[in-house]
Amino acid sequence: MEKYVEVAGRILLGGIFLMAGIGKIGAGYASTAGYMGAMGVPGSLLPLVIVLEIAGGLMVIAGFKVKWAGYALAAFTLVAGAIFHSDFSNQMQSIMFMKNLAITGALLLLAVHGAGELSLDKKLAK
């Protein structure tokens, strides 16, 4: 049972990044780049963000190189929270910041404890 819960957890956690990355492609690209610029982050970094979110999300879901993916996505999530959700006078921004902290914690646990039995990391280790 535990191994299936690990897969479900990876799907839910990785899915956040996969869907966020996909959402920034096409119609969401210009508005995301504009929002980044308004927050002092160069919009030219957006392609890197998209690649990190999609590749990292897929890696977490598949359980492939989860140590790397977990640490990279954790750092990204923490920095993104600090930049984009640091207006603590706004309750919604405070909630979004706490969400980023919780996701960062989950990613760090994944990086330290691994992807579990039903993962590409486990299969490739054999």
The pLDDT assigned to 59 comes to 98
Q: Is residue 123 part of a domain?
A: no
Does 122 map to a domain? Answer: no
Structural domain of 103:
2-115
Count the domains in the chain: 1
Instruction: Say what the pTM is.
Output: 0.94
For residue range 41-72, what is the model confidence (pLDDT) as tens digits? 999 999 999 999 999 999 999 999 999 999 99
Residue 28: predicted pLDDT = 87
> What pLDDT, on a 0 to 100 scale, did the predictor assign at position 27?
83
Residue 59 lies in a domain: yes
Residue 97 counted as domain residue: yes
Q: Is residue 125 part of a domain?
A: no
pLDDT score of 30: 94
Q: Of 57, 104, 97, 108, whose CA–CA distance to 76 is shortest?
A: 104
- Domain contains 124: no
**Per-residue pLDDT at 126:** 80
What does the pLDDT read at residue 26?
Answer: 87
**pLDDT less than 70: residues of the chain:** none
SS3 assignment for the chain: CHHHHHHHHHHHHHHHHHHHHHHCCCHHHHHHHHHHHHCCCCHHHHHHHHHHHHHHHHHHHHCCCHHHHHHHHHHHHHHHHHHHCCCCCCHHHHHHHHHHHHHHHHHHHHHHHCCCCCCHHHHHHC
